[in-house]
Structure 1
Amino acid sequence: MTTAQHLHVVPSQFMVEHLPNATFPEDDEWIALVRAPEGLTVVRDASPFAEVERWVGFYGDAGHGLDMPGMLAAIVGPLAAAGISVFVASTYHADLVLVPEHRQKDATTALRDAGHRVEDSAGD
């Protein structure tokens, strides 16, 4: 079993919000929601006008089942070793791994060095 993956850089930029007193966002402009005892975490497309930390996403093109161990670790491990923060939103088939926008180039290099194939929106 190989954990090397073909990853695409998602063309959108994202923002991650913490809403401490919310159980659901007031709008439906979200990508992912995580409800926890300390509040709601919301991932949404970053507004071009918002002054927030922007994140870019890496997403695998070949879905994997929930019974495939090590798939997420194979991505976040090299990023952690390179000192790159991540935020992850997992789906049934794959994981959306967000990294700070200013670390995109470093993240791409770390993932490629770990054996992953990474394509940005330009097809690189």
Structure 2
Amino acid sequence: MTSPAAQRLGIVPSAFAVQHLPQATFPEDDDWIALVRAPEGLTVVREAWPTGSGDRWIGLYGGGTGHELDVPGMLAAIVGPLAEAAIPVFVASTFHADLVLVPEPRIKEAVTVLEEAGHRVDTRHLRAPGA
């Protein structure tokens, strides 16, 4: 079933790490993709090292098919089906689109869920977990 907020998404070629730095107000380096400062500390999204430890996330992004800020339901149309499938997400929003991160081991399942919800996902950057 196609949603009125059906979107074209691409898989970002990088894998990401999401970190919580409880005492930081800014990271010590500039290798970050997104930052969110909150009372409990700093959340940092950065590219993950290929063989690094920790959880790796794969990003889905609107790929230039962004939307106006006042269009309702765009993010909900993506995270809703993923939530129904019990796939965790972490979201970093930009002015033009949302970067929706899903755990690397669940990316193929996430793509299937999103396509069944009416989204189109460009899988050319889909690779084996840990690659």
TM-score grouping bracket, smaller chain normalisation? over 0.9
User: Are the counterparts in 1 of residues 5 and 74 from structure 2 also a CA contact under 8 Å?
Assistant: yes
Q: How does 1:15-54 map to 2 (within 5 A)?
A: 15-54=17-56
Alpha-carbon distance in 2 for matches of 1:101, 1:79: 14
Residue 121 of structure 1: how far off its partner (Å): 2.8
TM-score, normalising length from structure 1? 0.96
Q: Does 1:81 align with 2:84?
A: yes
Alpha-carbon distance in 2 for matches of 1:51, 1:76: 26
Q: Which residue of 1 aligns with 2:113?
A: 110
Residue 48 of structure 1: how far off its partner (Å): 1.6
Q: Which residue of 2 aligns with 1:94?
A: 97
- CA-atom RMSD in angstroms: 1.3
Superposition misfits of 4+ residues, deviation over 4 angstroms? none
Q: Percent identity?
A: 67
Query: How many residues are paired up?
Result: 123
TM-score, normalising length from structure 2? 0.91
CA gap 1:122/1:18 in 2 versus in 1, 3 angstroms = closer
Alpha-carbon distance in 1 for matches of 2:43, 2:124: 26
